[in-house]
Amino acid sequence: MAALKIFGVSTAAIRKGIENARWPGRLEPVATDPYIILDGAHNPAGARALKEYIEQFFRKGPVRIIYGAMRDKAVDEVVGTLFPLATEVILTAPDQPRALNPESLAGVSDHPNLRVAANIAEALRMARDRPMATFVTGSLFLVGEARAVLGAGQRPTPQE
């Protein structure tokens, strides 16, 4: 705000900009029945923020987490923060060379209801078997792929 004020942007315009700001992939609801929420919690701080959100708004459960991550991330800490909240976890991998394959990721967790999917499209199909609030998280690449599969953020075409 301070920088914008220096450049002469009015307080009203700043306020309107903040109110209309969108952050795709950060607590982004893309479906509501059941809920599907995309959140690129790819580090421990992001995982803690997502945990607080789930505990505040979805504590009555059940909750599913679809998770995929890069090899160079703090996977143990993120998994330890998020997986205990989930009734079910589906592990997958974004289509990236740095991605941790889901089979290796399965070795990091002892979650009692863990499933593996080859990609995000398969993970989302698997999620349809048991409808519940679903959070797609762990990698911004994975969230981007989920947005594409689900058609999130696309503008509707004008009616003729």
What residue ranges define each of the domains in the chain, with the CATH number in brackets? 24-150 (3.90.190.20)
**Looking at residue 156, what is its pLDDT?**
39
Q: Which stretch of 24-33, 43-52, 74-83, 108-117 has the lowest confidence by average pLDDT? A: 24-33
**Looking at residue 23, what is its pLDDT?**
63
Contact by Cβ (8 Å): 69, 42? yes
**Average pLDDT score over residue span 113-133:** 95
**Average pLDDT score over residue span 79-102:** 95
Q: Which stretch of 16-20, 25-29, 51-55, 140-144 has the lowest confidence by average pLDDT? A: 16-20
pLDDT of 24 > 90? The answer is: no
CA angle at 105 for the pair 37 and 149, rounded to the nearest 5°: 35
Identify whether 94 is preceded by a cis peptide bond (ω within 30 of 0): no
Q: Three-state SS for 63?
A: strand
**Looking at residue 160, what is its pLDDT?**
31
pTM for the model stands at 0.83
pLDDT higher for 18 or 33?
33
Q: Chain-wide mean pLDDT for the chain?
A: 89
CB atoms within 10 A of CB 114: 17
Angstrom distance (rounded) from CA 87 to CA 64? 6
Q: Which stretch of 3-7, 87-91, 112-116 has the lowest confidence by average pLDDT? A: 3-7
pLDDT of 13 > 50? The answer is: yes
Q: What percent of the chain has pLDDT over 70?
A: 92
Report pLDDT digits (tens) over 44-76: 999 999 999 999 999 888 999 999 999 888 889
Q: How far is CA 40 from the centre of its chain?
A: 5
**Looking at residue 82, what is its pLDDT?**
96
Contact by Cβ (8 Å): 100, 142? no
**Average pLDDT score over residue span 110-131:** 95
Angstrom distance (rounded) from CA 135 to CA 12? 35
